[in-house]
Amino acid sequence: MFPTSDRATYIYKENMNSAERLKVVKKHVIGGAHEPHIHNRAIKGVSQQEERKYKYIHVRTVGKGSNVGYIELDRPSALNALCDPLMLEVSNALDDFESDDSIGCVILTGSNKAFSAGADIKQMAPVAKYADIYKAKFLSQWDKIASFRKPLIAAVNGYANVMAGGCEIAMMCDIIYAGDTAKFGQPEIKIGIIPGAGGTQRLPRAVGKSKAMEMVLTGDPITADEAKQYGLVADVFSAKDLLPKVIEKAEKIAANSHLVTSMCKEATNKAFEMTLAEGLHFEKRMFHSTFATDDRLEGMMAFIEKRKPNYSNE
């Protein structure tokens, strides 16, 4: 369920001062484990000089029009455990896709074996003091997923489950599609911690208080079908059909005005932050603002003229 840790590797010396402890935290929490493969993936719109080199993820564009970004977690030796270097790479890739005007939607996925087994326990084990992990800003690299402005889809698969931090980053995405073998859980309670990236906040909003409490207090997972029943995932597909189906959904989203889809996403997310009256007021103002865009006029004229719209994203 979680990557195991050799505790003997991470024993603090009693006489370590705070500066020495922080060095250990930076080495293991910020530096992370290193693995041998390096994946070079060019992102559309990024020059050769700016092309990033990735060690823990694959990045490319997919779809008939190459207008869908694709990020695949690739740390198989640890079931895609979310070490800080991996999450920094995800954040960098999202930054690049956000600045690429040709990209209208992004897919975040893992392997057929696992989406992600959660945060890397080998990184968390050496932390001895609250001040150390606070100063290291642990989990801060994860924030980009939730703040990404374009539509972001989590495609989760694998019998090794979507656990702990893996479940939390999936919930940061706008839509979750699951393979029929996937399981979702927040088992942090079993190792003496609580969820730290949204498990106690986003999960109740998705599945309701009672089910969320059961999941975070027992650590027991739910199946993909149960996740769909409770509203955590939008749909469930067979493992082999998951990615083709998700790419198809992403292409449909990317075919719309990229500007307006971002506005629609922002308005929908406000439903979780505002009262109903405040949310309705915000929605109305966002609706009014679409009339200032070229794409609103193009979309309406295409409908009247019975043709396909040609959006400029302006």
pLDDT digits (tens, 9 = 90+) for 197-221: 888 999 999 999 999 999 999 999 9
> What local confidence, expressed as pLDDT, does residue 166 receive?
83
Position 128 pLDDT exceeds 90 = no
Say how far residue 218 (Cα) sits from the centre of its chain: 24
Position 26 pLDDT exceeds 60 = no
Ordered by where they begin, the domains of the chain are 7-254 (3.90.226.10), 258-304 (1.10.12.10)
The span from the CA of 308 to the CA of 65, in Å, is 15
Angle at 216 between CA 213 and CA 220, to 5 degrees: 105
Give Cβ neighbours of residue 98 (< 8 Å, ≥ 6 apart). 148, 149, 150
Is 154 within 8 Å of 173 (Cβ atoms)?
A: yes
Per DSSP, what are the bridge partners of residue 175? 153
> What local confidence, expressed as pLDDT, does residue 51 receive?
55
- 165 catalytic? Reply is yes
Q: What is the pTM of this model?
A: 0.78
> What local confidence, expressed as pLDDT, does residue 188 receive?
87
pLDDT interval class at 2 (50, 70, 90): very low
- 168 catalytic? Reply is yes
Mean pLDDT, residues 12-41: 42
Three-state SS at 82: strand
Helices and strands per DSSP (H, E), number in the chain: 13, 11
Give Cβ neighbours of residue 210 (< 8 Å, ≥ 6 apart). none
> What local confidence, expressed as pLDDT, does residue 159 receive?
57
Element (H, E) at 237: strand 235-237
For residue 149, how many other CB atoms are within 10 A of its CB? 13
pLDDT interval class at 52 (50, 70, 90): low
List the catalytic residue out of 32, 63, 104, 165.
165
List the catalytic residue out of 69, 78, 164, 168.
168
List the catalytic residue out of 104, 166, 178, 188.
188
pLDDT interval class at 47 (50, 70, 90): very low
Is 104 within 8 Å of 63 (Cβ atoms)?
A: no
Is 25 within 8 Å of 127 (Cβ atoms)?
A: yes
List the catalytic residue out of 78, 114, 119, 224.
119
Position 14 pLDDT exceeds 80 = no
**What tokens does 246 get?**
């998700």
The span from the CA of 268 to the CA of 162, in Å, is 25
Element (H, E) at 72: strand 68-73
pLDDT tens-digit map of 242-294: 999 999 999 999 999 999 999 999 999 999 889 999 999 999 999 999 999 99
Give Cβ neighbours of residue 160 (< 8 Å, ≥ 6 apart). 79, 113, 114, 117
Mean pLDDT, residues 227-252: 94
> What local confidence, expressed as pLDDT, does residue 173 receive?
96
Position 190 pLDDT exceeds 60 = yes
Three-state SS at 250: helix
Per DSSP, what are the bridge partners of residue 90? none
Mean pLDDT is lowest, of 131-135, 150-154, 168-172, 271-275, for 131-135
Q: Which residue has the higher pLDDT, 110 or 37?
A: 110
